[in-house]
Amino acid sequence: MPYPTSGPATWLVTGASHGLGLELVKQLLAGGDNVAATTRSTERLTAALGAADTSRLLPLRVDLTDEKDVGAAVRAVEERFGTVDVVVNNAGYGLLAAVEEVSDAEARELFDVQLFGAWNVLRAVLPGMRARTSGHIINISSILGLTAFPGWGAYCAAKYALEGLAASLAGEVADFGIRVNLVEPGYMRTDFLRPVSLRLPSRVTDGYQGIREMTQAHQGMPGTQLGDPAKAAAAIITVARTGSAPLHQILGSDSYSLATARITALTADVENGRELATTTDIAEAAAS
């Protein structure tokens, strides 16, 4: 079993100082597990934890986009706790803008955190997990890793990339006893839609009035979202402890509805394109 059957498990959680990551750290510490928590500000993390028992906490200020920094952090976790049993790649932020409006620098910065930061963590933890033939990697994606909306093109692109990476990884490491999951939440009552986590483009383009209206609607959404981050954190812990969740674990009734609608639409696209698709085979191969 990837999850320890006796004694505390050691978790590495990225993006841990607010939102879902912070709630997850709180619950893990309350449950007696060891937690290594990465953040851009360890002071903010410890302040947010308040009176929680932090004797099993290793706060780490880590630049996830720096491969050497990530490697040093993982070594620090192994020195403190011995192993890394569960990794939660949670760090990220939103970017709400038309595709045309997103600059090259903004797109690369987003991918550096959402995709390459997670990849740095994977490279750092996988050798130890393979050597132990045990481990669990949970990648926090989004319903926007399965579907897409106008204005979320850059964010969707990064989450779609994470989904492809994780799905390939799951097949590669299964024989080593390592489990991989993608968690795809819908809207949750975190600060994701507030300025701390939701960025806007440095320049806007005339004509995208619909995107401006969507931005305004999302900025007014905090406090009305369906998802409970405490329940989502508990669900992630269940995913790790049971080891029975599907590769794609939806969280939230809104996420479930959007995912099923996407499956229906994609199925219709595939079927509607079937006639043209079958005309591109080499004739001899098709006949055989």
Domain assignment of residue 273, yes or no: no
CA-nearest of 6, 113, 17 to 66 is 113
pLDDT at 97 over 70: yes
Q: Helix H segments across 95-184? A: 104-111, 118-132, 153-173
Question: Is position 141 annotated as part of the catalytic site?
Answer: yes
Domain that holds residue 249: 10-254
Check 17, 134, 141, 142 and give the catalytic one.
Answer: 141
Over 70: is that where the pLDDT of 272 sits? Answer: yes
Quickly state the pLDDT bin for 190 (edges 50, 70, 90).
confident
Q: How many domains does the chain have?
A: 1
* Mean pLDDT of the chain, nearest integer: 93
Full-model pTM:
0.93
Residue 231 lies in a domain: yes
Residue 25 lies inside a defined structural domain of this protein: yes
- Residue 105 in domain: yes
Domain assignment of residue 286, yes or no: no
Q: Supply the pLDDT for residue 57.
A: 96
| pLDDT at 42 > cutoff 70 | yes
Q: Catalytic residue at 155?
A: yes
Active-site residue, 255 included = no
168: CATH: 3.40.50.720
Is there a domain that residue 219 lies in?
yes
Could you tell me if residue 5 is left (phi over 0), alpha (psi between -120 and 50 degrees) or otherwise beta?
A: alpha
- Range scoring the smallest mean pLDDT among 18-32, 55-69, 85-99, 185-199: 185-199
User: Which of the four pLDDT bands, split at 50, 70 and 90, describes residue 283?
Assistant: confident
Residue 172 confidence (pLDDT): 98
Residue range 108-155, pLDDT digits in tens: 999 999 999 999 999 999 999 999 999 999 999 999 999 999 999 999
- Structure confidence at residue 267 (pLDDT): 98
Q: How far apart are the first and last CA of the chain?
A: 45
Q: Secondary structure of 159-196 in the HEC alphabet? A: HHHHHHHHHHHHHHHHHHCEEEEEEEECCECCCCCCCC
Exactly one of 159, 187, 208, 255 is catalytic; which is it?
A: 159
Average pLDDT over residues 10-27: 94
Q: Which of 26, 142, 155, 160 is catalytic?
A: 155
